[in-house]
Amino acid sequence: MTGAGPLRYRPHHFLCSLGFQGKGYSETFTANMSAIVMGRLRAPGGDETLIEVTGTADAICAPCPKRQGEGCEAGGKIARLDAAHAYVLNLAPGDRLTWGEAKARIRASVPAGSLRQLCAGCEWEPLGLCEAALAALHAEEG
């Protein structure tokens, strides 16, 4: 899933990738997400990485211990996160955009301070790492 062709991302993983700081659900999950986020998106030229939106398990989910086929054992919570993020970022399955375009869309559509509501139910949200990354993205605007 991380080879040639666009990266496949479900809607809420755009913001998760912005906030990722090396924490995850298992060693293999974290290694895979690090390879994608640090190794591709945040690497030189990473803004050009093409991403295709999917409604099911994606490149981040692939080695997750909670994945069940194309679904997730936390299905209801994940569906709510995906629906909320898809709405605010105007994403639908099949859409293609670069990581740079995704960050621009996050800057335009997700105000700092909004993750408590947008990401309600996510176990990582209370840590504040994603909110800090969102604030940093807004600060980059100058």
Q: CB of 42: closest distance to ligand SF4 in angstroms?
A: 15
**Looking at beta carbons only, is 131 or 142 nearer to ligand SF4?**
131
Q: CB of 142: closest distance to ligand SF4 in angstroms?
A: 23
Q: Output the CA torsion 11→126→140→37 (10° steps).
A: -50
SS3 content of the chain, % helix, strand, coil (to 5): 50, 10, 40
Helices (H), 20-98: 27-36, 75-89
**Looking at beta carbons only, is 140 or 142 nearer to ligand SF4?**
140
Q: CB of 29: closest distance to ligand SF4 in angstroms?
A: 12
**Looking at beta carbons only, is 17 or 49 nearer to ligand SF4?**
17
Residue type, 123: E
| Residue pointed to by tokens 């496949």 | 8
What would the DSSP string read from start to end of 11-42? TTHHHHHHH--S--SSHHHHHHHHHHIIIIIT
Cα(85)–Cα(95) distance, integer angstroms? 14
**Looking at beta carbons only, is 36 or 119 nearer to ligand SF4?**
119
Q: CB of 4: closest distance to ligand SF4 in angstroms?
A: 26
**Looking at beta carbons only, is 1 or 88 nearer to ligand SF4?**
88
Q: CB of 57: closest distance to ligand SF4 in angstroms?
A: 15
Q: What is the binding site for ligand SF4 (CB under 6 A)?
A: 12, 15-16, 19, 81, 115, 119, 122, 124-125, 130
